[in-house]
Amino acid sequence: MLYARALAGIAGLVLLAGCSADLGGVGGAIGLGGSAKPQALAVGDEPYAVKIGASTLAQGGSAADAAAAMYFALSVTYPVAAGLGSGGICIVHDPLKAETQEFDFLPQDAAGGGNYAIAGAVRGFALLQASYGVLPWQKVVAPAEGYAAAGFPISRALAGRLSDAADVIRLDAGLSAQFLDEEGHVKAAGVVVNNLDLAQTLAAVRTNGPDGFYAGPVAAKIAAYAAAEGGTITVAELSGYRAQAVTPRVVQMGSQYVYLPSQKTSAGAFASVLLDNLLRAQNTDVGAKDLQASIVYSVQQSLKAIKVTELPKDLGSTGFATMDARGQAVACAVTMNGPFGSGHTARGTGVTLAKAAAAAGPAFLTPLIAAPRTDSPAVLAGAGAGGPNGSAAIFYALARIAAGDEITTRKDLRTTGVAPYDTVNAIICSGSICAALPDPATNGLGASVPTQGK
């Protein structure tokens, strides 16, 4: 069923001021907010995954290590939007190397059609971590494997999405076994769940790298399940999937260079149109005085440009960001192309397959990074995800930063107005102070890990 995200409704939905969410002690052991000391930061929609990212940074991992560790943790603790069947886009900025790179690994439709997409995220995060990580691969995957094997408490962030996806869960044996109680009700926040099949798949990925997913027993089980359920994914297609490292689009905005997805993807095409419309709107008399009006107008025009008039309520997406004390920053957005993707879990793997042929879902993955120079640390690393309001919210933050405004607290970051489906998460630096800011209308988490200055 389509949600009323018609063009006429965008103005009323986009950029509503949000309030801080009660995290219920989830972040009690991790510093929140900003600090003038050198630090490492992580932010995202699901707190337990963010804590894994922060722990990876505390162990000396790079931002790339932390982003990969967060993704694998999300595949366990937030599979509604970031399962192993997902795909996405990340942007990495490394001032020590004076380079910024984009990694594209969106889900791909099988050549023979069908409802199931070929997953890209395992290959994508493996390439990203091999390019910019410093920790052994095993240390990046192991925490997620531990969550899947030993269990984890359902967070408030996940509980909200589970409730909305109850009908999807009930139709899949794997999802039902994990997330429904004996009476058929969705399990509540705080209930401990595990997924032993997923733990075994993650063990294969930890041991064999991405080939543990795209070849061998896991790939064979995915292909066999797809064939039995009317899909056409083949073992050859899985083994042949390749993530791409490309040059992101670069646009100057004020004193900042903005790195956003290239126009080769639907996400990059929408982000580029939205940014171009925003720059034009700000050059008008009204737009120069009213940023929110400029954003609303830009979203409306951009949706018209890609011929989108309505969208599903939940596109099954999430975004997150990391930054290490050396200045490396990573912004990512991933999607299942719907809540739990296709809603079908390949037997014996714990992998819920992404939905194929998503009309516009990947268009609204908007990771971006802004920095004054290629050899300078980022002032913004963040992502809007889930829909046009997510994209709008991250561009709103970008425009304020480019104008010289300070965004230092969670309430300063505008929510999307339709959280938790569309969200914005960002790491923002002003001078020597950086803050990890989750969407103010969600149960996400921003974590900072103080480190020793050199």
Q: 127-136, 185-194, 327-336, 396-405: lowest mean pLDDT where? A: 396-405
Mean pLDDT, rounded, for 55-76 = 98
Whether the per-residue pLDDT at 385 is higher than 80: the answer is yes
Question: What are the φ and ψ backbone dihedral angles of 385, each rounded to 5 degrees?
Answer: -150, 155
Mean pLDDT, rounded, for 151-171 = 97
Mean pLDDT, rounded, for 245-273 = 94
Q: What is the Cα–Cα distance from 420 to 441, expressed in whole angstroms? A: 8
3-state helix, strand and coil shares in percent for the chain, rounded to the nearest 5: 40, 25, 35
Q: What is the Cα–Cα distance from 325 to 449, expressed in whole angstroms? A: 9
User: Residue 355: beta bridge partners?
Assistant: 116
Mean pLDDT, rounded, for 214-241 = 97
Give the pLDDT of residue 32.
38
Whether the per-residue pLDDT at 370 is higher than 80: the answer is yes
**Residue in 251, 278, 247, 252 with CA at minimum distance from that of residue 264:** 247
**Which of 55 and 22 is assigned the larger pLDDT?**
55
Give the pLDDT of residue 121.
98
Q: pLDDT class for 357, splitting at 50, 70, 90?
A: confident
Q: pLDDT class for 360, splitting at 50, 70, 90?
A: low
Mean pLDDT of the chain: 89
- The 10s digit of each residue's pLDDT in 200-218 is 999 999 999 999 999 999 9
Mean pLDDT, rounded, for 238-257 = 95
What torsion, rounded to 10 degrees, do the Cα atoms 55, 127, 219, 181 define? 30
DSSP codes, 223-265:
HHHHHHTT----HHHHHH---EEEPPEEEEETTEEEEE--TTS
Q: What is the Cα–Cα distance from 274 to 439, expressed in whole angstroms? A: 20
Q: What residue ranges do the domains of the chain occupy?
A: 2-12+31-450
- The 10s digit of each residue's pLDDT in 288-338 is 888 888 999 999 999 999 888 888 899 999 999 999 999 999 999 999 999
Q: What is the Cα–Cα distance from 208 to 216, expressed in whole angstroms? A: 10
Give the pLDDT of residue 361.
65
Q: What is the Cα–Cα distance from 396 to 23, expressed in whole angstroms? A: 25
Give the pLDDT of residue 311.
87
Q: pLDDT class for 358, splitting at 50, 70, 90?
A: low
Q: What is the Cα–Cα distance from 266 to 359, expressed in whole angstroms? A: 10
C-alpha distances in Å from residue 280, one per residue of 214, 260, 300, 341: 44, 18, 13, 36
Mean pLDDT, rounded, for 104-128 = 96
DSSP codes, 333-360:
EEE-SSTTTTS-EETTTTEEBPBS--SS
**Residue in 280, 283, 254 with CA at minimum distance from that of residue 400:** 254
**Residue in 90, 104, 85 with CA at minimum distance from that of residue 214:** 85
Give the pLDDT of residue 8.
36
User: Residue 61: beta bridge partners?
Assistant: none
Sign of CA dihedral 79, 263, 406, 60: positive
**Residue in 275, 282, 277 with CA at minimum distance from that of residue 258:** 275
- Residue 304 CA, distance from chain mean position: 25
Q: What is the Cα–Cα distance from 164 to 143, expressed in whole angstroms? A: 27
Give the pLDDT of residue 439.
96
- The 10s digit of each residue's pLDDT in 401-421 is 998 888 988 888 888 889 999
